[in-house]
Structure 1
Amino acid sequence: MTALRFDPIRLPSECEELRKEVRAFLADEVAAGTFNPFQPLREDADAREFSRRVGARGWIGMTWPKKYGGHERSFLERYVVTEEMRVANAPVRRFFVADRQSGPILLRYAPEHIKTDILPRICRGELCFAIGMSEPNSGSDLFAAKTRATKTDGGWLINGSKIWTTSAHMADYMIAIFRTSPSTKENRRHGLTQFLVNMKTPGIKVNPIGQITGQKEFNEVVFTDAFVPDDHQLGEIDGAWKQATSELAYERSGPERFLETYYVLTELVRAVGPDPDTRSAEGIGRLVAQLHTMRRMSVSVAGMLQAGKEPVVEASIVKDIGTVWEQQLPHRVRDLAAFVEEDAGNRETLENQLTFAIRTAPKLTIQGGTTEVLRGIIARGLGLR
């Protein structure tokens, strides 16, 4: 049984200085017209030059060794950068997955020549990564994966498909899990291996999946005898489940897991103005208190990552609570906004944001692991199953 720990961690002074730097940088980008922080539905997801400028500031690969282009800063400093980028609705999609989880996996499992080639390019904001986990007909059951990697001379041939692969349409690389052996009765997790896949490899086709919001960030990726060389195998053959579990601690615990619809809360505060009625004040206060609690939990997990721990259960709790909250937030804001007086167009931006947030909300409890899967992980970690 795992004992839950959410140590009370305060951000040190260097984090607050860094926050000022990031805010000033983002304000300059907004002023230059790079992005509109009040418009969550944008066509600037593939913001190549913005990514390079973020890399030039040293804010990608912040915690990685300097020999690979990193900056050896703390997970708490990285937390601050992520938080400010998310709150500002900055177009981070091109580099964020590589920074959050793909880079750490390469650091841990890739051969040296791969690390010296790819990691510095991630840090410079030049590369985009996708994650290949989910498959058709297997949902969030990672261990039901059927896409096969078959051994051949000098490498592996991949056949099958992955689905819901965010950013695969613009990714340079994918880190994916493929079946290399059958599972066993004793261990259904057995038989999966992790690979680094160059997305320009012949035999890979990317099919965009449209969303109700108009976005096309999800994709189906079909592999037909796509060749992956031996040196692109990451870690232990048939043992990827252990690596994936560790990887998801990075994916599930950050502030992006409760701030994706945050913009509707700040816009509600603007709409009600400096003198809200009692109902609005109480409702906003309750939401802010909940937000503060989740933030403290997320900062605590960042502190544990900084200490070299793998807080898988705690990260799952942050993701579970956070995504349910951000999914429900637009509906709560809409209820509170019902009594806001419509004068001087003070509701137009809020209404536009609510329309988008309510449409995008259903996906939030699916990406990064469904609520049901997360609660199974939590229950297992607490010795309840």
Structure 2
Amino acid sequence: MTIDELWTTVEPPDDQETAEIRAERTRVREFLATALDRGLFEPRCDSWLGGFSPEFSRELATHGWVGMTWPRRYGGRAASNLLRQAVVEELLAAGAPVAAHWFADRQVGPGLLRHGTEEQRERLLPPMARGELHVAIGMSEPDSGSDLASVRTRADRVAEGWRVTGTKVWTSHAHRSHLMLALVRTTAPDPQARHAGLSQVLVDLSAPGVTVNPIPFLDGGHHFNEVVLDEVLVPDHMLVGAVGQGWTQVTAELAHERSGPERYLSTFPLLREMNAARSGDDAVDGVLGRIYARLWVLRQMSTGVARSIDAGVASPLVTALVKDMGTRLENDIVDESRRWRPSFPSLDAPDAYDRMLAQAQLHAPGLTLRGGTSEILRGLVARALGMR
């Protein structure tokens, strides 16, 4: 099976949707081929985090590929999550730079549709759908590990709205974003009800009191940040949802955050180069066969989640499994590539295989951490199965 043939194995529930999805895939592939010829991007691993190009995001938006599941009155296409999934797969498989609009498209926009006010939707969703408004996510904090319920960033009520003080960490592209959707504590912590008293606010990252400190990668790249908030004023109209409902709102986002193609396609451009360079090697064909089989299963699981999101019944168990199994596969692709062909990976190597391997190796430590560590996810699965 070739790489491209692999993408045609998912069968949506009815023939008409199958035709729609296949037509959209063809349209995306044709666009990407033209974009490559025009030099609009260079394929890379981990493109949904490392590939930040506002110009490319705006170009995608003109084709209707940003905010595509949102209602038309907010700039969307009212498309299904299944159709969006097909578009995202094609973009990530090609290593296209989608980071500029990623968080707005994946979870902030859907969150505003569920919990935001009509004024927020009308003001914020259309520029997001045009690829013009970039949003970061402020969840994790220093010294908290994966315990999101231990949030200490505080939002105190004042006459003008809320005064927010605290620190967020691992905040991708905060230095390039306009807003940050932050989880904050609006009431004093209660040891007996750790998930209570949390709320979500949209912080203007250009506001007084905001300091963004870079956290560079091993390769010198930079998308992670520490965001320090010192008495930052957040007006009332930037509160998202209800006060005290932040935990419920955040956990509702996890179906979008943990189950998408980004959880098994971050290292796919490297797999594509491995496939192209195999030259009939039986050993590598066996490795590729095992990887393809796992990838096919993950695509089926992820596609099932997309269908369940459309139906409003996404399972936290399945989303956790997709993320855990997917990021393990991504790391295995790096390991198998390194074993198969001795090379000197370098970000500046003339050979695409060596460049992709260098990118993948340098980003591999974060694959099983972001979006929930493997240990946390396996704990969720065990609890859902009644094992703890």
Q: What TM-score, normalized by structure 1, do the two folds share? A: 0.92
Q: How far, CA to CA, are the matches of 2:363 and 2:283 in structure 1?
A: 27
Q: How far, CA to CA, are the matches of 1:41 and 1:195 in structure 2?
A: 27
Q: How far, CA to CA, are the matches of 2:203 and 2:315 in structure 1?
A: 28
Whether the 8 Å contact between 1:8 and 1:300 is mirrored in structure 2 is no
Q: Does 1:97 align with 2:103?
A: yes
Q: How far, CA to CA, are the matches of 2:139 and 2:261 in structure 1?
A: 22
The offset of 1:123, in angstroms, is 0.6
- CA distance 1:41–1:260, shift in 2 (3 Å): closer
- CA distance 1:350–1:12, shift in 2 (3 Å): same
Whether the 8 Å contact between 1:207 and 1:219 is mirrored in structure 2 is yes
Whether the 8 Å contact between 1:35 and 1:44 is mirrored in structure 2 is no
Q: How far, CA to CA, are the matches of 1:72 and 1:300 in structure 2?
A: 19
Equivalence for 1:217: 223
The offset of 1:208, in angstroms, is 0.9
- CA distance 1:92–1:41, shift in 2 (3 Å): closer
- CA distance 1:14–1:171, shift in 2 (3 Å): same
- CA distance 1:92–1:168, shift in 2 (3 Å): same
Equivalence for 2:383: 380
Specify which of 237, 243, 255 is matched with residue 243 of structure 2.
237
Query: How do 1:117-266 and structure 2 match up within 5 A?
Result: 117-266=123-272
The offset of 1:181, in angstroms, is 1.4
Query: How do 1:310-325 and structure 2 match up within 5 A?
Result: 310-325=314-329
Equivalence for 1:268: 274
Q: What TM-score, normalized by structure 2, do the two folds share? A: 0.91
Q: Does 1:68 align with 2:74?
A: yes
Q: How far, CA to CA, are the matches of 1:179 and 1:55 in structure 2?
A: 35
Q: How far, CA to CA, are the matches of 1:201 and 1:65 in structure 2?
A: 30
Equivalence for 1:22: 28
The offset of 1:44, in angstroms, is 8.3
Q: How far, CA to CA, are the matches of 2:212 and 2:174 in structure 1?
A: 7
Provide the aligned C-alpha RMSD in A: 2.1
Q: Does 1:329 align with 2:333?
A: yes
Most deviating of 34-43 and 290-299: 34-43
Structure 2 unmatched runs, 5+: 1-9, 344-348
Structure 1 stretches of 4+ with a deviation exceeding 4 A read 7-11, 38-44
Whether the 8 Å contact between 1:283 and 1:336 is mirrored in structure 2 is no
Q: Does 1:31 align with 2:34?
A: no
Q: How far, CA to CA, are the matches of 1:44 and 1:182 in structure 2?
A: 37
Equivalence for 1:282: 286
- Tell me, what secondary structure is at the counterpart of 1:114? helix
Q: How far, CA to CA, are the matches of 1:149 and 1:213 in structure 2?
A: 36
The offset of 1:38, in angstroms, is 5.4
The offset of 1:277, in angstroms, is 2.7
Whether the 8 Å contact between 2:45 and 2:268 is mirrored in structure 1 is no
The offset of 1:182, in angstroms, is 2.5
- CA distance 1:160–1:55, shift in 2 (3 Å): same
Deviations 1:100-122 (CA, angstroms, capped at 9, x unpaired): 00001111112111110110111
- Tell me, what secondary structure is at the counterpart of 1:205? strand
Q: How far, CA to CA, are the matches of 2:51 and 2:253 in structure 1?
A: 24
Deviations 1:269-309 (CA, angstroms, capped at 9, x unpaired): 11112xx2321211111111111111111111111111122
Q: How far, CA to CA, are the matches of 1:125 and 1:99 in structure 2?
A: 9
Equivalence for 2:117: 111
Structure 1 unmatched runs, 5+: 1-6, 341-345
Specify which of 359, 363, 367 is matched with residue 366 of structure 2.
363
Q: Which amino acid aligns with 2:193?
A: N
- Tell me, what secondary structure is at the counterpart of 2:119? helix
Most deviating of 160-169 and 374-383: 374-383
- Tell me, what secondary structure is at the counterpart of 2:176? coil
